Amino acid sequence: MSADAKPTLAVWKFASCDGCQLSLLDCEDELLGLAGEVEIAYFVEARRATVEGPYDLSLVEGSITTAHDAERIREVRRQSRRLVTIGACATAGGIQALKNFADVGDFVSAVYASPEYISTLETSTPISAHVPVDYELHGCPINKRQLLEVITAFLHGRRPSIASTSVCMECKRRGNVCVMVAHGTPCLGPVTHAGCGALCPSYDRGCYGCFGPMETPNTVSLTRQLKVLGMGDPGVERVFRTFNVEAFEGARAADAGT
């Protein structure tokens, strides 16, 4: 990169709903400022023109669900000086990783009129299962302020300043009354990564874990509490099996020592 050239940013999509890319577009005013600092070289959801790599920073949305995607992410990694994964799909395989715990053939024949045209892997896996990743930003979708912090940090060559605590800490900062203690509402906040600003508990709803497990979750204790609140085994299984199913199943297995 020449002294006066701007760093280049690329945004890539794999198996996903586009919601995390929309979080970047949703930055609006900040995006204008960002456009002054970086060259948005590849972002097909935002602009038609593309600039060839290599790229200084790649943001990757989505999980790997096809053999072609597994090839493509290796090429993206080769083209990227830094690679950051954004969202539950890219960091944990997303809700599509439910197929990792079932027969993918059953899903394909239930969903598609002509299943013979569908070519898919049996699993949905995070990007980090295929290539080295420099940073993982959690959420479904990601929080736009956290996204801007990550981009700014990488442009300035520092680690992003993002708390690895739980949603409970964000509730305390907002002065929320605990929905689980005060109202008996099942809530995954104690084991979920912070980042949303305790959005759901602020509206008297339990957290359903869209930011995935925090660094040191205690899913055994939370499961015990969910059962105290009257949730049976099928309910507990379901509550952990949403957007971050693969990550929560991994955390539960680690907590149980299996």
Binding to ligand SF4 by CB under 6 A, coded x per residue (else -) over 210-229, reads: xx------------------
Of positions 12, 41, 58, 87, contacts ligand SF4 by CB under 6 A: 87
| 76 scored as a contact of ligand SF4 (CB under 6 A) | no
First CA to last CA distance, the chain: 48
Is position 200 an interface residue for ligand SF4 (rule: CB under 6 A)?
yes
Among 11, 60, 137, 167, binds ligand SF4 (CB under 6 A): 167
Which of 94, 186, 190, 213 forms a contact with ligand SF4 (CB under 6 A)?
94
- The DSSP annotation for the chain comes to --TTPPPEEEEEE-BS-SHHHHHHHTTTHHHHHHHHHSEEEE-TTT-S----S-EEEEEEESBB-SHHHHHHHHHHHHHEEEEEEEHHHHHH--GGGGGGGS-HHHHHHHH-S-GGG----S--B-GGGTS--SEEE-BTTB-HHHHHHHHHHHHTTS------SBHHHHHHHHTPPPHHHHH-----GGGBBS-S-STTGGGT-----TT-B-SS--HHHHHHHHHHTT--HHHHHHHHSSTTHHHHHHHHHHHTT-
Asked if 56 is part of the footprint of ligand SF4 (rule: CB under 6 A), the reply reads no
Is 85 a binding residue for ligand SF4 by CB under 6 A? The answer is no
Only segment of 64-72, 88-96, 153-161, 233-241 that touches ligand SF4 (CB under 6 A): 88-96
207 binds ligand SF4 (CB under 6 A): yes
Cβ proximity to ligand SF4, 6 vs 229, nearer residue: 229
Convert residues 120-149 into a mask of x (bound to ligand SF4 by CB under 6 A) and - (unbound): --------------------xx--------
89 binds ligand SF4, rule: CB under 6 A: yes
The interface region with ligand SF4, picked from 12-20, 49-57, 101-109, 177-185 by CB under 6 A, is 12-20
| Identity of the residue, 78 or 164, whose beta carbon is nearer to ligand SF4 in the bound complex | 164
Per CB under 6 A, residues contacting ligand SF4 are: 16-17, 19-20, 61, 87-89, 94, 140-141, 167, 192, 196, 198-201, 207-211, 243
